Amino acid sequence: MTDPFQQFADWFALAQASEVNDPNACALATVDMEGPDPRPDVRIVLMKGFDARGFTFYTNRASAKGHQLEHRPHAALDFHWKSLRRQVRISGPVAHVTELESDEYFASRPRESQLSAWASLQSRPLDARTTFEARIGDMAREYPGTVPRPPHWGGYRLSPDWIEFWEDRPGRQHHRERFTRSAEGGWTMTLLYP
């Protein structure tokens, strides 16, 4: 197969059928530029879509990861589907999705999640859980009907430079295929030693 997005779609469909929780969960690695030396920073996010343009996730852009992506707009994703004994690694530049895409996805979220997006000062210190709960109550009173998307909240799309597919094999003789995007936009597949 020469289309890594089709291979990802096939593997993701299997993951949706076999993973108990969140087959769209992936580790997102960014670069923390705070302090004297850049450092890797990683957390789990939920991929909310993918197509030939890349892989999309949403977050508070004022969060630690949001700041990191603004200063160093390059990231890596890692999907690990333990039930399938498969992993997909992806790396490339990251950019904001369109305002329309962010608006449409935000409108599809449950009301409680929409209110949390307003109430959470994500990644900042919280003195007590009751403070966050009070902020949610304040937002519910401020927006008794439709909850608009906060200006600090939106989506990112990672456009891969490369995508690697890893399959577990007996005796640690794993199978690895890396697809690298060419300057013309096509893909070249290379087998890698396990």
Specify whether 172 is catalytic. Answer: yes
43, 66, 91 from 30: Cα distances, Å: 9, 9, 10
Both tokens of residue 98?
């369109």
Q: Taking the CB of residue 16, how many other CB atoms lie within 10 A of it?
A: 11
Place of tokens 């891969």: 160
Alpha helices in 74-122 (DSSP H): 99-108, 111-119
Both tokens of residue 130?
């009751």
Q: Taking the CB of residue 92, how many other CB atoms lie within 10 A of it?
A: 19
Place of tokens 């794993």: 174
**124, 129, 141, 172: which one is catalytic?**
172
Q: Which residues are catalytic?
A: 172
